[in-house]
Amino acid sequence: MHAKEPQPLGFRATDPTNHLDPHDNYAQMHNQSPVFFDSERELYWVVRNDLIRYINTNPQIFSSNVELFGGTGIVGYPESVQEIRSRGVGHGDTLITNNDADSHRAYKEIVQRAFAPRRVLMFETQTQDLAHQLIHAFPESGEIDFSSQFAVPLTFTVICRQLGIEEAMLATFKKWSDSIDVLLSNMAEEEALISAAHDELALQQYMLQRCELRRKDPKEDVISDIVTARFKGERPLNDTELFGILNQLFVAGNESTRSTLMGAIYYLTQQPEIFDQIRDGGQPVIKVFVEEVLRMWSAVQGLYRRALHDTEIEGVMIPKGAKIHIRYGAANIDPDAFTNPRQIDLTRAQPRGHLSFGYGIHHCVGAALARQELVTAIDLLTTKFSKVTLEQSPSDFHFFSSYHLRCLESMRVKFWT
């Protein structure tokens, strides 16, 4: 039997209309094939839920080592950018990317201890207090840019407090975080990539300075836990390992939660009846709503793998070395995995069945903290206000240009008392 040719990808992943509502494209894909090929980016897309679970649990075939791609999951960096990045300590083969080996478990155990349930609970009251402060600062009209006046300061301040870094530098941290996203997406012009690479070096220098301070004077924070930990109980982490871990925690710890919170409020403006159901049902309903938003919005639309051997996916031959994009956003509305997959269902029996926090060894270590932030924020907003309305046309939304992130940069809304 001859191998099947993959279906061509019929849209651009970076198209703003796809970021706003990718579900029509995904539904069409599920009706056609589980495997597609993006000829522009030379990537095989896998969109079916069960196949993505299979890929994530077989790293010996599908590697997450993005360094095999020349630095990102799409294309390599220009030489000018590589030269700037070479001045730093690198990222190391630690958590989310670059590592499928046994050492991944050792690194993850260090981070899981730092994000232990006791610490997440310890910060719950602080998160509530911070959300209260931000709501109190809303103008009397109730009209705000939800990103800059709530989502960004909430998520950035929470991760800063968790890590133990200076909140006074919030604006600088946001700039650095955006630059890391520019590098990860690798969609910008060379000049912008060069600027982002310089920002990465600045972030690296800052983080390592904080690590040195915590070595001398440990506190009750994540950086202290990580710098005083021992890899496999034997040695402290080196600078490359430290930055590899902290960089991923810093960026993933704010960006995906911020994006999901934006998505939650957007859905509440489009389906006001959900707002009323949440107000009536309280936290049990809010927790299901959060899982449904995580599934439907899918802040991380997909990640990358590379085939370590010639292999086959549903009859499509994937050659050794081929780049693969596992599209979580599509898997999260797979009709074979979810009933009424394109609807927010507050009665869904297994609301945590989505892949928005990954699957297998790379499941997100910060999932509990993200859920806590989202539940706390939505609880307070729906208790304080009677409804929220969108004060701009969705056609005017601006999304960060990314192949794998769904990141709405601003959104004007009005909260009504």
Q: DSSP letters along 323-367, please?
A: EEEE-HHHHTT-TTTSSSTTS--TT-S-TT-S-TT--GGG--TTH
User: How far apart are alpha carbons 207 and 303 in whole angstroms?
Assistant: 25
How many Cβ atoms sit within 10 Å of the Cβ of residue 163? 21
Band of the pLDDT at 70, cuts 50, 70, 90? very low
Whether the predicted pLDDT of 344 surpasses 90? yes
Band of the pLDDT at 220, cuts 50, 70, 90? confident
Burial of 327 (0-12, 13-18, 19+ CB in 10 A): buried
* Highest mean pLDDT pick, 33-37, 155-159, 358-362: 33-37
Whether the predicted pLDDT of 182 surpasses 90? no
Q: Tell me: domain 76-298+351-416, CATH 1.20.1250.20, correct?
A: no
* Highest mean pLDDT pick, 72-76, 169-173, 290-294: 290-294
Q: Where are the domains of the chain?
A: 76-298+351-416
Band of the pLDDT at 275, cuts 50, 70, 90? very high
Over residues 130-156, the mean pLDDT reads 96
Cα torsion 335, 337, 340, 343 to 10°: value is: -110
Tokens of 338: 């979810």
Q: What three-state secondary structure class fits 231?
A: strand
What does the pLDDT read at residue 66?
Answer: 60
What does the pLDDT read at residue 163?
Answer: 85
Give the tens place of pLDDT for each residue, 18-35: 999 999 999 999 999 999
User: How far apart are alpha carbons 47 and 275 in whole angstroms?
Assistant: 31
Amino acid present at 277: Q
What does the pLDDT read at residue 119?
Answer: 76
User: For the stretch 95-109, what's the b/e string if a residue is b when 16 or more beta carbons lie within 10 angstroms of its beta carbon?
Assistant: bbbbbbeeebebbbe
Q: What three-state secondary structure class fits 46?
A: strand
First-residue to last-residue Cα distance in the chain: 65
What does the pLDDT read at residue 73?
Answer: 39
Q: What is the mean pLDDT of the chain?
A: 90
Whether the predicted pLDDT of 299 surpasses 50? yes
Over residues 378-388, the mean pLDDT reads 97
Over residues 334-344, the mean pLDDT reads 97
Band of the pLDDT at 300, cuts 50, 70, 90? very high
What does the pLDDT read at residue 125?
Answer: 86
Give the residue among 177, 181, 151 at the shortest CA–CA distance from 370: 151
User: How far apart are alpha carbons 84 and 167 in whole angstroms?
Assistant: 27
Whether the predicted pLDDT of 95 surpasses 70? no
DSSP class of residue 412 equals: E
User: How far apart are alpha carbons 366 and 163 in whole angstroms?
Assistant: 12
Over residues 57-81, the mean pLDDT reads 72
Give the tens place of pLDDT for each residue, 195-215: 999 999 999 999 999 999 999
What does the pLDDT read at residue 92?
Answer: 59
Whether the predicted pLDDT of 67 surpasses 70? no
Between residues 104 and 67, the one the model is more confident about: 104
What does the pLDDT read at residue 74?
Answer: 45
